[in-house]
Amino acid sequence: MKPLFDVSKYKEITQLKFECYICSKEFIPLRRNAIQSIKGVQDIKYCSNECKNKSFLKRIEVYCVNCNKTVSRKECDFKRNKSKNFFCNSSCAASYNNKNKKFGTRRSKLEVWIEKELKNEYKFEIIFNGKENINSELDIYIPSLKLAFELNGIFHYEPIYGGNKLKSVKNNDERKFQACLEKDIELCIIDTSSAKVFKPERDRKYLDIIRNIINKKINF
Q: What is the pLDDT of residues 44-76, one digit of tens each?
A: 777 888 887 776 667 778 888 888 888 888 766
**Those residues with Cβ within 8 angstroms of residue 182's Cβ, 6 or more apart along the chain or in another chain:** none
pTM recorded for the entire structure: 0.54
Q: What is the pLDDT of residues 152-161, one digit of tens each?
A: 998 899 887 7
Q: What is the pLDDT of residues 22-33, one digit of tens each?
A: 788 888 777 777
The matching CATH number, chosen from 1.10.10, 3.40.960, 2.60.40, 3.30.70, for 109-218 is 3.40.960
The pLDDT of residue 38 is 66
State the Cα–Cα distance between residues 152 and 129, nearest whole angstrom: 13
State the Cα–Cα distance between residues 77 and 84, nearest whole angstrom: 10
* Domains in the chain: boundaries: 16-56, 58-104, 109-218
Q: How many Cα atoms sit within 13 Å of 125 on the Cβ side?
A: 7
User: Would you mind telling me the total number of residues written for the chain in this entry?
Assistant: 220
pLDDT at 139 over 70: yes
Rounded to an integer, the average pLDDT of 188-198 is: 90
